[in-house]
A = this chain, B = another copy of it.
Amino acid sequence: MTLALAGGTQDFPLTLTHVLGRARTVHHRAEVVSLLDAEGNRKRAPMAAVAERADRLAAGLRSLGVEPGDRVGTFAWNSQEHLEAYYAVPCSGAVLHTLNPRLSAEQVAYTINHARDRVILVDDSLVGEMEKVLPHLGDTVERFVVIGDGDAGALPGDPLRYEDLLAAQEPGFGWPELDERSAAALCYTSGTTGNPKGVLYSHRALCLHTLVMAGHDAYRMSERDRILAVVPMFHAMGWNLGYLAGAIGADLIMPGRYVQSEHLARLIGEERVTATCGVPTIWMDLLRYAGADLSSLELAICGGTQVPPGLMRDFEERHGVKVVQGWGMTETLPGAALAHDPPAAGEEERWHRREHAGRLSPFYEVRIVGADDEVVPNDGETPGEVEIRGPTVIGEYFENPEASAAAMHDGWLRTGDVGTLDSEGWLRITDRAKDVIKSGGEWISSVDLESALMAHPTVVEAAVIALPDERWSERPLACVVAAGEVSPEELREFIAPRVAKWWLPADFAYLEEIPKTSVGKFDKKILREMLATDRLPGRRRVG
């Protein structure tokens, strides 16, 4: 609709430049702590210093010829320097491309070439990984800048030291006025098929997400918090913690590459961490780690994949830590839905809701689309593909018309997740669209079957994939890693009360380990290949 009458509000853009200014002034005392080594040595800086160094970094990048719109890569763990780049690059008008060290060297190179990165900041600990990337690079990268003073001899050209670059600049920087729709950051999704796809975030999207996440019913964090940023800054903008901290003044504890339980436990205990974010694997490991002092910790936002209810219960009952499940994607930014306890909920409702992916955050809209491409009711029961829209959701992939066309559906983004939505905005993810098992015209959730199987005390891991079936089209095949002897019959009997009768798998495979993707999710693509080439071990069939 055309603008009938324009409001008299100032034309003030939603840019990260405001957030940087706020970090520099209002929250200049907020602390950024970076773990430097396995011995636990740390460095500390107030936000004022981060902002002052961001000025110098921006000036340094400008001196290297980086212009607005240019891409600057970071190949780095979570650290103060990475945070400086989070502010300096976008606020100077350039685009921060967070490279993912967990991808293969070819994939990393693909993303650099596709993004046409001109400068790349590299942690010295990752120089060896970058060396493997070099042979696959095109000619876009003009300069490497090395964070830290480790050996950088493997990098070509004349790699600069990050500290030298900063020291060579005058204090201050003339931050440009930016359009809020200009690009701020670029993050590639690590899909299990095809090349990674680029997600280009605007300043507006990152600012709005910062405001949404600052809400009480979202991340529930504030100036009083000391946040342990476990989720890597190269995953979906590190779940926005870098910008959130600048906006609300929380302290940030950066673990670098030391995300093993012993280091995290020590940081939580010694730094009196109150809140943290990460994938379930991290918390499962931490729970098993003896001697962790979690007494300061109140909240752990957990996402990236389904959070096991047992994990949430254990944290709450043993440590008084609320593990709150969240849902989002690189394409939507992280907190599209969060599963906080509903107010005044009884124990049963509370735990029922905890098993949901979450409740929709403000300015996210979701619809569920069934197999026939029709929107199904939000009854909490009818499953379909989750489609999403909103001012922080992508409308296209970066320079990838083919992937964009496949992803968009009448202005909504197809998430590739299958689930249900109820009348109060509670979203339940039951499967990935490509993993759902289509049996007799109905859908069987591989995830629900996996959860049911993994609840068995002997089962360490379980992944369920589709087995082609003449009569039913597909039937579930359960791939199980067991810590001891457990028969298919026992497993069927165990899960029978938890799933529909026609869901019960007749086919099993017993593996030593479920193959994983670079981000630690079950790699069902490999399982399917093993099935197709008859290499799935320990196959057994019931009846």
Contacts and interface: CB of A to CB of B under 8 A. Distances in A.
A360 B200 contact: no
A162 interface: no
B424 A25 contact: yes
Contact of A424 (B5, B28, B211, B212): B28
Contacts of A247: 362
Contacts of A18: 362-363, 365
Contact of A14 (B5, B69, B391, B411): B391
Given A1-B93, A224-B344, A424-B28, A7 B204 contact: yes
Q: Is the interface of A mostly helix, strand, loop or mixed?
A: loop
Contact of A10 (B215, B344, B393, B398): B393
Contact of A391 (B9, B205, B390, B394): B9
Contacts of A360: 22, 26
A9 B182 contact: no
Interface in A178-229: 178-179, 181-184, 199-205, 207-208, 210-212, 214-217, 220-224
Contacts of A215: 211, 214-216, 222, 248
Contacts of A224: 343-344
Contact of A363 (B14, B343, B390): B14
Nearest to A363: B18
A25 B362 CA distance: 12
A1 B177 contact: yes
A308 B48 CA distance: 33
A397 interface: yes
Contact of A203 (B7, B210, B394): B7
A216 B220 contact: yes
Nearest to A398: B8
A29 interface: yes
A406 interface: no
A395 B9 CA distance: 5
16 contacts: A4-B67, A5-B69, A6-B183, A7-B203, A7-B204, A10-B390, A10-B393, A10-B395, A18-B362, A26-B424, A27-B425, A211-B215, A214-B216, A215-B222, A216-B221, A222-B343
Nearest 8 CB-CB pairings of A with B: A7-B202, A4-B69, A26-B425, A224-B343, A4-B68, A10-B395, A216-B222, A8-B200
